[in-house]
Copies of this chain bind each other. A is one copy, B any other.
Amino acid sequence: MTSASAPDTPEHPSAIDPDIKAGNLTRLRRIEGQIRGLHRMVDEDRYCPEILVQISSVQEALRAVSREVMRNHLAHCAADAQARGGEAAEAMRDELLELMYRYLR
């Protein structure tokens, strides 16, 4: 989308599925609204368990974004590396395991 990424924001080396991208941009806008809603709930001294349930709902929404990013990653980036084989494939699998077991929550 942006053609002028700063040097510290490398563009994606593989294809991005436009539907996944559009869906995630929409999801993130909605999540931004949910965060503002949480801010309001805290500000209004709402009952703690209500806030906790709402935090959990934002976390689920972020998980849905994560799942779609991972879907794109498997279909494009991971598939490319797998096709190149050898060390590229092995490094990709190590990265995948690290993502799954360290960062997925």
Chain A residues engaging chain B, CB cutoff 8 angstroms? 1-2, 5, 9-13, 16, 21, 24-25, 28-29, 31-32, 35-36, 38-39, 41-49, 51-53, 55-56, 58-59, 62-63, 65-67, 69-75, 77, 79, 82-83, 89-90, 93, 95-97, 99-105
Say whether chain A's binding surface is mostly helix, strand, loop, or mixed: helix
When the two chains form their complex, are residues B62 and A59 in contact, meaning their CB atoms are under 8 A apart?
A: yes
For the A-B complex with A59-B62, A105-B105 known, give 8 more contacts whose Cβ atoms are closer than 8 Å.
A1-B45, A12-B46, A47-B77, A48-B77, A49-B99, A52-B73, A56-B66, A71-B97
Q: B46, B52, B103: which contacts A53 (Cβ < 8 A)? A: B103
When the two chains form their complex, are residues B42 and A5 in contact, meaning their CB atoms are under 8 A apart?
A: no
When the two chains form their complex, are residues B70 and A97 in contact, meaning their CB atoms are under 8 A apart?
A: yes
Given that A35-B28, A38-B28 are known contacts, is A89 also in contact with B79, CB under 8 Å in the complex?
yes
